[in-house]
């Protein structure tokens, strides 16, 4: 059997560990041949490939990013997208696909499965917002990077008696903000799932200053005030129709300065959360996902995604995993609120 592998969407620590696990088990264990598609679904549309054998995946475990490249290409935005994918797979003799990605990449995979393409998915996103799995690889690395940044900002905030805002990624899910904010001892955490009261935030800031400490506020890029819409960096959208979020941190800093008279500065962590060496936990999870993905291929278990449930790796239907985002439960958020201010 010849198996195609692709990584789509935003890059993420642990992608290379999945590729490595798939090939390291698939070649000697099942006798499969592998071909890597460059830059996600673009590579499948255009037949742009690179060979994947055991030697090609050596040394990948600690390496961030993806050796296959990635993109946010949506093949169904093209009239002939499905026909081109089928043509590529036929021309290259590819019998099955392993698609590694988030909701968009796996959403395409789910649609292809419905049309008869033999495909298995692996969940990837630093946002941890995919349904069907307790955690996605990449999330732990992003949280650790954000937590270290918050730790460092505490000292400079108190040296200059400033309020510091840390804007983290997550789109419409607040998992990174909640985990990193709690781990870093933030004085307020603002997430998309719960609209925030700017007056309450300013009260937390002033309360912190009254205790002769400088406040740290962690805000997810998709967080919104009680009144008003999400703050957009631009009106641009990607190939899947997602708006480019950002700017809430700067807006929040200006509002805090205007309402409290205290100096405020914003740090936007941005893509630094995606880069660099994956944590041990992400290497472990990505490797287990890869091993179980190739087992699903061998079993002919198509249209599924590997998932973590407790400590077990299971498979769940792609349709289930992509039908809705996994958001932070407001009750879980309320547990953290006791530390605010």
Catalytic residues: 127
Q: What 3-state class would DSSP assign to 19?
A: helix
Per the CB < 8 A criterion, the answer to whether 253 and 165 are in contact is: yes
Which of 102, 124, 132 has its CA nearest to residue 238? 102
Structure tokens, 332: 């879980």
Q: How far apart are CA 267 and CA 250, in angstroms?
A: 9
Token output for 219? 């805000």
78 burial type by CB count under 10 A (0-12 exposed, 13-18 middle, 19+ buried)? middle
Q: How far apart are CA 106 and CA 322, in angstroms?
A: 7
Helix (H, G, I), strand (E, B) or coil at 123: strand
């Amino acid at each position: 059997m010849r198996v195609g592998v692709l990584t789509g969407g935003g890059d993420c620590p642990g992608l290379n560990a999945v590729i490595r696990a798939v090939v390291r088990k698939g070649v000697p264990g099942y006798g499969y041949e592998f071909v890597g598609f460059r830059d996600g679904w673009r590579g499948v549309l255009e037949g742009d490939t690179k060979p994947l054998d055991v030697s090609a995946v050596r040394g990948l475990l600690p390496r961030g990013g993806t050796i296959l490249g990635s993109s946010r290409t949506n093949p169904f935005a093209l009239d002939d997208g499905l026909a081109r994918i089928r043509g590529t797979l036929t021309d290259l003799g590819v019998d099955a696909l392993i698609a590694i990605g988030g909701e968009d990449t796996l959403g395409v995979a789910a649609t292809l499965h419905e049309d008869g393409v033999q495909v298995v998915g692996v969940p990837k996103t630093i946002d941890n917002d995919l349904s069907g799995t307790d955690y996605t690889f990449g999330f732990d690395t992003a949280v650790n990077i954000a937590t270290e940044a918050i730790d460092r900002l505490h000292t400079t905030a108190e040296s200059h008696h400033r309020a510091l805002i840390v804007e983290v990624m997550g789109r419409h899910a607040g998992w990174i903000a909640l985990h990193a904010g709690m781990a870093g001892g933030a004085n307020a955490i603002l997430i998309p799932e719960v609209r925030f009261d700017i007056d309450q935030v300013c009260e937390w800031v002033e309360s912190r200053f009254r205790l002769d400490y400088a406040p740290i506020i962690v805000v997810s890029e998709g967080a919104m005030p009680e009144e008003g819409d999400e703050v957009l960096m631009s009106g641009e959208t990607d190939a899947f129709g997602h708006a480019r979020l950002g700017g809430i941190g700067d807006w929040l800093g200006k509002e805090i300065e205007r309402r409290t008279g205290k100096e405020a500065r914003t740090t936007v962590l941005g893509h630094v959360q995606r880069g660099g060496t994956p944590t041990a936990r992400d290497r472990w999870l990505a490797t287990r996902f890869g091993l179980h993905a190739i087992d699903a291929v061998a079993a002919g278990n198509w249209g599924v995604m590997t998932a973590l449930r407790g400590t077990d790796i299971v498979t769940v239907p792609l349709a289930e995993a992509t039908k809705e985002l996994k958001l932070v439960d407001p009750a879980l958020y309320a547990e953290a609120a006791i530390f605010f201010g």
